[in-house]
Chain A
Amino acid sequence: MFGLGILKGMGITLKRFWMPKITERYPEVMPDLPQRSKGSFTFNVDTCTSCELCSMACPNGVIKVEWHKDEAGKKRLDRYRMNLGHCLFCGLCVEACPTKPQTTIAFQGDFELGCWMKQDIYRNWTKEYPAAPAGVSASQPDATQAAPKGE
């Protein structure tokens, strides 16, 4: 009979009316993201060798690495800067990093990346090298692990 399709459809919507809802109550309930979820970045200043493979792998030129050569001729990281405004979140930098077992640059599933000021788009990690008094080794890790924002 004419109208049966309509009635069947209305029955389905009525059934769904009473079923539990799937809305996730963000921000009271934070979503449970999988481990590989791509968000912002963590960077380990101690393990970085300034090889710049990540910078060369990036399609958009997001990463800028500043390093200096110390007395032994080895590269030492000064500053690692990422411009998240141009980042595609493709993960080529993470793939390129040779550090094992954990890559120096890695994703954390942090998706709340909105900010008010444009300079907060940049992520900076710096490594300080205090002037070594006699008898103490040159590079003292004195850097923050979390990303301080700002220029």
Chain B
Amino acid sequence: MVDFLTALFNFWQGFWGVPKTSLAEALPWMDILWAFVYLIGAFVLWAVNVIILIWLERRVAGFFSERVGPNRVGPLGLLQPINDAIKILSKESVIPQAADKFIYMAAPLLIMTISVTMYGLLPYGPGIRPISLNVGILFFLAVSSTTTIAVLMAGWGSNNKYSLLGGMRTVAQIISYEIPMALSIIGIVMLSGSLDLGAITDAQKNLWNIVLQPIAFVIFVISAQAELTRSPFDMTEAEQEFVAGYHTEYMGMRFALFFMAEYANLFAMAALGVILFLGGSNGPFLPGWIWFILKTYAFIMFLLWIRWTLLRIRVNRMMMLNWKVLIPISLVNLLLTGVGIKLWQYFTEGRV
């Protein structure tokens, strides 16, 4: 009982951004309990984010085009996601007869699992770090590239030419844009000296990384949009060309899982951008996790702004942009970062 209260007290401290005291007095089973708490928390956060983003995206889209977004269902249309949820759940879930059933049904589950995993890796605040890996950023990138498999499964399993074409395009796109993203992140890693997301956040206590790595920020924004297959890189689900791309044949709850995974990935990628470039959960006065949420949503608004202004890019130009523009620029960025770090070390510490 005392241990439980101790652990609760530690959580309370962590909640308000106070560094955690050691949990050595706690019993071993407390770790498992906390793991469960974090697991449920990650799911809840995932769901809450999806709900908020469904409303936010449509409202913002309306505002950019001079219309009001959802405004009927609740005050300011805030209950619109409930409307969408009920609508999607009430649809008949039809499996195409010639579809590869196992792959068809496993794809949305896989993509949801990946999405929730990414939520566990993020440091929300000084005390709230569900999984504190020392190779955090590498693991994050690895997990987010597994979406490729899920998309390919969806495209192939639907037994539909449109889906297959959409799935193949998505795979090409996601795989290609991993590279500039990883290269732009290496610069941050060099500056912070660690792959751990928590350590990267702590290293930005005084100065945000965006000041030191503006080129990497631009590359990261472009690659993030491409990874999320959002406009201007959304030819995979381009309504006007492929009806709905790899999720054409999905309806009902399965489609809802794809849909929610896309919005959840948006939050996860924006959170990654905030952690790497915008200082994570650092900030005066307010607790760390409030800053984190605020900054992430500001970044999401920026990504939404890009999405609702720009058009879809052509496939070959997208590839050209990646291989001929972003990768060379990110390599140059790495070079400059390395040289810059060495010069700084020479001038401040007198060594090379």
Contact = CB atoms under 8 A, between A and B. Distances in A.
Interface in B282-315: 305-306, 308-310
Interface stretch (B62-70, B131-139, B155-163, B249-257): B62-70
B68 A13 contact: no
Interface stretch (A14-22, A63-71, A90-98, A124-132): A14-22
B64 A17 contact: yes
Interface residues of B, number: 14
Contact of A22 (B60, B67, B310): B67
A13 B309 contact: yes
- What size tier do the contact residues of chain A reach? 10 to 19
A10 B309 contact: yes
A13 B65 CA distance: 7
Most buried by B among A9, A13, A25: A13
A31 to B, nearest CB: 15
Contacts of A10: 305-306, 309-310
B65 A16 contact: yes
A25 B65 CA distance: 16
Contact of A21 (B63, B306, B309): B63
Contact of B66 (A6, A19, A25): A19
Interface in A1-32: 6, 9-10, 13-14, 16-17, 19, 21-23, 25
A16 B310 CA distance: 15
Nearest to B218: A3
A77 to B, nearest CB: 45
16 contacts: A6-B310, A9-B309, A9-B310, A10-B309, A10-B310, A13-B64, A13-B308, A16-B64, A16-B65, A17-B64, A21-B63, A21-B66, A22-B66, A23-B62, A23-B71, A25-B71
- Give 3 closest A-B pairs by Cβ, nearest first: A23-B68, A13-B309, A13-B64
Interface of B: 60, 62-68, 71, 305-306, 308-310
